[in-house]
Amino acid sequence: MRIRIWKHCLLGFALTLLLCVPALADQTLMMATTTSTDDTGLLPVLAEALKKDTGLELKWVAVGTGKALEHGKNCDVDVLLVHAPAAEKKFVEDGYGVNRTEVMYNDFVLVGPAADPAKIKGKTADAALAAIAAAKAPFVSRGDDSGTHKMEQALWKGANLPLPDKESWYVSAGQGMLATLNMAGERKGYTLVDRGTYITYDDQAKGKPALVVLVEGDKPLLNQYSVIPVNAEKCSKAKFEAAETFRKWLASEKGQKVVGDFTVKGKKLFTPNAAK
Amino acid sequence: MNYLVDGLRQALLLLAQGDAATFSAVWTTLAVTFEAMAATLVCGVPAGFFLGYATFPGKRAARLLVETFLSFPTVVIGLVVYAFLSRRGPLGEWGLLFTVPGMAVGLTILGLPIVIALTAQAVENLDPRLRPTLLTLGAKPRHVFWATLSEARFGILLATTAAFGRIVSEIGISMMLGGNIKWDTRTITTAIALETGKGEFATGIALGLVLMGIAFLVNLAAAVCRRRQAA
Amino acid sequence: MSALYELSDIVQRYDGREVLCLPQLSIAAGSIVGLAGPNGGGKSTLLRLLAFLEFPVAGEVRYRGQATRGREFALRGEVTCFPQEPYLLKRSVRANVGYGLALRGATDIRERVDAALAQVGLDPARFAGRSWRQLSGGEVKRVALAARLALRPAVLLLDEPTANLDRDSAELVRRAVLSAREAHGATLVISGHDQPWLRAICDDILWLADGRLAGPAANPGPSGAVSDNTTFAGNSGRQS
């Protein structure tokens, strides 16, 4: 009886190993991207269109921007799709990535309670942040070195305000975008959010969101996405050709159309802006 | 609060409708756990046996080391293993990052101290009359080994259950080494992390209930085994 | 008469304390030797030495005329010891009694197990399937004895086999142990406090106190006295 159990276990084990051997397709492209990009829902749509047009299989890990760049430096992935231009440029300068190509942008918005205690509605980003600081209104930050977080920090700097890290009204959440939104909602505070996540949040709240859009459209709030293939010279195992195929496809008419046609809850999210 | 009830309803729906993503996560969880458990037992039981049975200089230090590792934070394990498995790392050639076997490596390291410490304890607590009894009945060294293991089987089963519980519910290592890639390395726990991060609390609860269901079935099987062994 | 065991200049120590000192002792094949003496006198130690479960700090044990160092695993295949407080494996009674037989690759395990259980007065139909948890103290002792009897050992060493047994069970043990000698000529060494019981079954009785053999036991058995310097047990009254 005991021997039979062992045999079954070994068989099961062997079977599992077989089934879990990673798909050894040469046509698999590994991408590191950010959680907010993943949350928009664009990626599965892109992946499907990419597969149809080029046969490439796209797989991705969604982590914070910092981590995505680390994965690129460590050669864990073949290509990056992120939205932190300053960090990206350094990444390329340091030789980790090549052929950085801007492909699309979406925007960030400042959201807060409908009552708007700090009266930021309709202001520019700079003025809005100044008003929040002056009123000491609660503000929730991603606090996780993500693209959103970096954007937020750039905004404070752009408004010539000191980073309110130590202020009592400033909360560093250290979490993903939706969690941060929920926290801001609970505290009746303000936060910076990408439009895509906000649309999802708004939809989830079924018409009664705790936070509404108060500031939008201002230039510093634009969120530029770029594709960066990992440098084949630093990473010998990187699938450079496949990464290039993906990059060119995304910048081409076909890819740009997919981006432009993508909607979340009926609302357009991205503006394709690859250079012609 | 309603997401608890919603969660329960969703759990049943997901399972009844055969939601592909959920079943994929279930399968991945089972595969990762099975591999990690197999490696943990194959390496851990003999090591624990040796630690409990043999006398050697530094035995107490070894025991202390193993017990300290019981408190090793999972995120640190994940980081250390990542450093090894990353392309830049020494084992990068093996291409284990973002794969199920890669996750299993990290989870094995998590489970080993549990199995080693508890097996050593079980073996140490064996009746000192066992060895002379086996010898006088004519047992050769390999017979003594297997019979001693058999006598310690209840403690070893406990070690297995404890390690299983730890491994199946783990998130940090799975996330770090697996990457939470849909269809590939998304386990129930990483899926829960994802859903709750997206604010989908009900789905998170639903998946949590599915996981508890699996854990219950496994432990039920273990309990049946234990009952039959004791007879 | 051939000597099965020949012990010379045996010294045994535990933690530096001398527990056994035997200049010379021989045990004849096929004999039944009793070991009497006060508690702590060294009886159990001597039995363990004879069972090759322990090795003396000094001196030599010869078995069937050959040195025994390094051969203990093989020798334990025909010499078995029944300790004062026997231990049962966490298995059924049948598995316990059959363990040694399974090790030896016997094919008639079931019959021998049933026979051994019957010999110690435990009905196989009722007891064979029981788990080790479901036995009384006396039953544990008898199952352990059955496990040894089933092996048909050349030498059976028993350490106080009738301690804590009622009179009927003690009688059963006596008969079972004697039949071992009858059936396949086993040599028996039995230690105990119950002098009448020992006298009734042993050819000779050795008196062990403070780790040393005294002269013949207070009331020597029907076989006669043993000489002073060399203690040769079991020879008296036998044809060569």
Lowest mean pLDDT among A3-17, A37-51, B89-103, C226-240: C226-240
With a cut of 60, say whether residue A5 has pLDDT above it.
no
Task: Report yes or no on chains C and A touching (3+ CB pairs under 8 A).
Answer: no
Higher local confidence (pLDDT), C238 or A258: A258
Distance CA B224, CA B217 (A): 11
What per-residue confidence (pLDDT) applies to C229? 38
Nearest CA in chain C to B151: C90
What per-residue confidence (pLDDT) applies to C82? 95
Distance CA C48, CA C152 (A): 19
A-chain residues within 8 Å CB-CB of B179? 61, 63
Pairing mode, strands C155-159 and C187-191:
parallel
With a cut of 80, say whether residue C107 has pLDDT above it.
yes
CB–CB of B129 and C147 under 8 A?
A: no
What subunits touch chain A, counting only 3 or more CB pairs under 8 A? B
What subunits touch chain B, counting only 3 or more CB pairs under 8 A? A, C
Q: What are the backbone angles phi and psi of residue C216, rounded to the nearest 5°?
A: -60, 155
Enter the pTM of the model: 0.77
CB–CB of A61 and B95 under 8 A?
A: no
Best of B40, B79, B97 to mutate (most A CBs within 10 Å, chain A):
B97
Residues 114-153 of B with CB under 8 A from C: 127, 129-130, 132-133, 135-141, 143, 147, 150-151, 153
How many angstroms away from the CA of A12 is the closest CA of chain B? Answer: 9
3-state helix/strand/coil string of C112-177: HHHHHHHHCCCCHHHHCCCEHHHCCHHHHHHHHHHHHHCCCCCEEEEECCCCCCCHHHHHHHHHHH
What per-residue confidence (pLDDT) applies to C223? 42
> Could you give the angle at which helices C137-149 and C167-184 cross, rounded to 10 degrees?
0
B-chain residues within 8 Å CB-CB of A60? 181
Nearest CA in chain B to C93: B231
Q: What are the backbone angles phi and psi of residue C173, rounded to the nearest 5°?
A: -60, -45
With a cut of 80, say whether residue C226 has pLDDT above it.
no
- 3-class secondary structure, B219: helix
B178-207: pLDDT as tens digits: 988 888 889 999 999 888 776 677 788 888
Is residue A81 within 8 A of residue A98, CB to CB? The reply is no
B-chain residues within 8 Å CB-CB of C90? 150-151, 153-154, 230
Mean of all residue pLDDT scores within chain B = 90
Distance CA C209, CA C40 (A): 8
CB–CB of C131 and B231 under 8 A?
A: yes
Please report the sign of the dihedral spanned by the C-alpha atoms of residue A130, residue A134, residue A140, residue A143.
positive
Cβ contacts of B71 within 8 Å, gap of 6 or more:
none
Q: What are the backbone angles phi and psi of residue C92, rounded to the nearest 5°?
A: -70, 165
Report CA B51 to chain centroid distance, whole Å.
20
With a cut of 50, say whether residue C222 has pLDDT above it.
no
Interface of B with A (CB under 8 A): 31, 34-35, 38, 86-89, 92, 95, 97-101, 179-181, 184, 196-199
CB–CB of B101 and A30 under 8 A?
A: no
Of A16, A76, A200, the CB nearest to B35: A16
C164-189: pLDDT as tens digits: 788 888 888 889 989 888 888 899 99
With a cut of 70, say whether residue A7 has pLDDT above it.
no
* Chain B touched by C70 (CB under 8 Å): no
Look up tokens 């590994």; give the residue.
A30
Reported ipTM: the value is 0.88
Higher local confidence (pLDDT), B18 or B82: B82
Q: Work out the percent of chain A whose per-residue pLDDT is above 90.
A: 54
- Report which residue type is found at C142: R
Of B138, B153, B231, the CB nearest to C77: B138
Nearest CA in chain C to B129: C87
What per-residue confidence (pLDDT) applies to C220? 41
Of C80, C91, C133, the CB nearest to B137: C80
* Chain B touched by C45 (CB under 8 Å): no
B-chain residues within 8 Å CB-CB of A179? 196-197, 199
C-chain residues within 8 Å CB-CB of B147? 89, 99
Lowest mean pLDDT among C74-88, C190-204, C212-226: C212-226
Would you place residue C236 in the very low, low, confident or very high pLDDT band (cuts 50, 70, 90)? very low
B-chain residues within 8 Å CB-CB of A237? 87, 92, 95
User: Average of pLDDT values for C151-161?
Assistant: 94
* Chain B touched by A160 (CB under 8 Å): no
How many angstroms away from the CA of B139 is the closest CA of chain C? Answer: 7
